Structure 1
Amino acid sequence: MRVRHELARRSRVSDSELSALEHLVREPMGPAELARLLEVSTAASTGVVDRLQTKGHVQREPHAEDRRRTVVTLTDSGRAEILGHLMPMFEALRALDADLDDTERAVVARYLRGAAAAFETVTGPPPAPRSTA
């Protein structure tokens, strides 16, 4: 949670806006779908999208198959904003990984799989990936 709050602070976005950006990094989606993922009302989701659009981090586009709907997409600016703040952490993790031999890496992987399973005793399994077909 500290990384999330610090990233939001440095990016000058709210926690909800950061969460929206995290979802939009994975794939574009409609405001109603984003509202469900953020667990907020569609009106609140619209406000999040409005603020992110004002900052140049997202844009609304017409839905490819249903012109009555819109799709929210992450802009290059939005992606650069988030990755720019995360890159030092990614580089440090890459360097740490490079210092491990295969045996050490296997132990770390086993530990992390076990830790994820332990978290799932509280949260349940992660949601299945959605079909794009």
Structure 2
Amino acid sequence: MKVPPAKAGYWYEQDSTAKERAVRVLNALRDYRASEGAMRRRTRSAMSMGETDLLALRYLLEAQAQGRDLSPKDLAAKLGITSASMTTLVDRLVRGGHVTREPHPTDRRALILRPTPGSDEEVRTTLGKMHQRMIEVAAGLSPQETETVVAFLAKMSEAVDQIDPAAH
């Protein structure tokens, strides 16, 4: 894939070769994020689910694949939502046939949430081809390219995760 030529981003000025390369990378990253956002909107639309619903289902499917149980409280903590919002979310997922509530195996007072087999299949059908294309692109990287991309993305995550308290 050919990397698009550098273009001035709306926040970036180009006054050196290093900055020009940085702008090209940041513009490519911004374009990727826009494509990923569009894909998420299409997925939510295809599955008739909101973003938080889809994220909750993803966490539940991941936990199931790892042999872990998630309670509504655990899931609310992962999603960063209140218990009231969690109740509404779970009700919606249960009504939609995506999740079941089951008694906790060791705590009679608690519940665990499980994705339905139909939800797992729906996610695989909706996202399977796209995930396969992404795997093929990533598998096409050399070992050195892989290390470079992974290190770059880790550093970018670190850069955006830091909030400057003086800026507020």
Greater relative CO, 1 or 2 (CA 8 Å, sep 6+)? 1
Size of the alignment, in residue pairs? 122
- Using structure 1 for the length normalisation, give the TM-score: 0.75
Partner of 1:131: none
Q: Does 1:120 align with 2:158?
A: no
Partner of 1:20: 56
Partner of 1:72: 113
- Using structure 2 for the length normalisation, give the TM-score: 0.62
Partner of 1:128: none
Structure 1 SS opposite 2:107: coil
Residues 62, 118 of structure 1: CA spacing in aligned structure 2 closer, same or farther, 3 A cutoff? same
Q: Which structure 1 segments of 5+ residues have no match?
A: 123-133
Q: Does 1:97 align with 2:97?
A: no
1:6-34: per-residue Cα shift (whole Å, max 9, x none)? 32222111222112212212323222333
Which range moved further: 97-106 or 87-96?
97-106
Structure 2 SS opposite 1:6: helix
Q: Does 1:9 align with 2:45?
A: yes
Structure 2 SS opposite 1:66: coil
Partner of 1:35: 76
Structure 2 SS opposite 1:40: coil
Q: Of the candidates 89, 97, 115, which is equivalent to residue 56 of structure 1?
A: 97
Amino acid at match of 2:83: T
CA RMSD, Structure 1 to Structure 2 (Å): 2.1
1:70-116: per-residue Cα shift (whole Å, max 9, x none)? 11111221222223222222111221123222232232222222222
Give the share of equivalent positions with the same residue, in percent.
Answer: 29
CA distance in 2, matches of 1:37, 1:109: 24
CA distance in 1, matches of 2:128, 2:160: 26
